[in-house]
Structure 1
């Protein structure tokens, strides 16, 4: 009778890997919903910054809009007004505006 009781209690216990299943599921959800899209965005940004060339219109992280005048390995010189040029770190360039973008307040 004692063996029968021990056999039923051991058979009722779930396997150990079942307790890890929710944690693995949460990691998978975080990977596909948060980490993977962020990595993709970072890759696209690196490619945009690496492809900067003279004449591109850019928006900096500070919100300045200007035209690229000169590009170095780590810096870009951006003309934000006629005769006003600033030197910015390439990684702080937020976006490259496509030519012929919509004008504001027209």
Structure 2
């Protein structure tokens, strides 16, 4: 029985380097994940935030529902827009997906 315990006991020396080598693939996968998914998504969020903050009267917008409208007024987290002659709607800034400069 004691010989079994002696065989299963870990040997000393040289274990620190092998542990780093074991974690290298996990670290590599994390770095690839970061550069392929997280970083571009953050960049896209920053561009969207800049677009929303730059809204002004006269800009033509596209909403997530597919409505095209012209900005009449910007109020906090909402935009008052005209979608047809005499038809005004209040739109949440979160639902705006695109902006094209007004004429």
After TM superposition, the score normalised by the length of structure 1 is 0.79
CA distance in 2, matches of 1:98, 1:18: 54
User: 1:65-76 maps to which residues of 2 (within 5 A)?
Assistant: 65-76=68-79
Q: 1:26 aligns with which of 5, 26, 29?
A: 29
> Is 2:85 the counterpart of 1:85?
no
Could you list the structure 1 runs, at least 4 aligned residues long, displaced by more than 4 angstroms after superposition: none
> Is 2:64 the counterpart of 1:55?
no
For 1:11-33, what per-residue CA distance to the aligned partner results, in whole angstroms no more than 9, with x for missing partners?
6xx61111100110011001001
1:16 match: secondary structure = helix
Q: How many residues align?
A: 92
1:38 match: secondary structure = helix
Q: Which runs of 5+ in 1 are unaligned?
A: 1-9, 101-106
How many Å apart are 1:98 and its aligned residue?
3.6
After TM superposition, the score normalised by the length of structure 2 is 0.81
Give me the CA root mean square deviation: 2.1
CA distance in 2, matches of 1:83, 1:23: 59
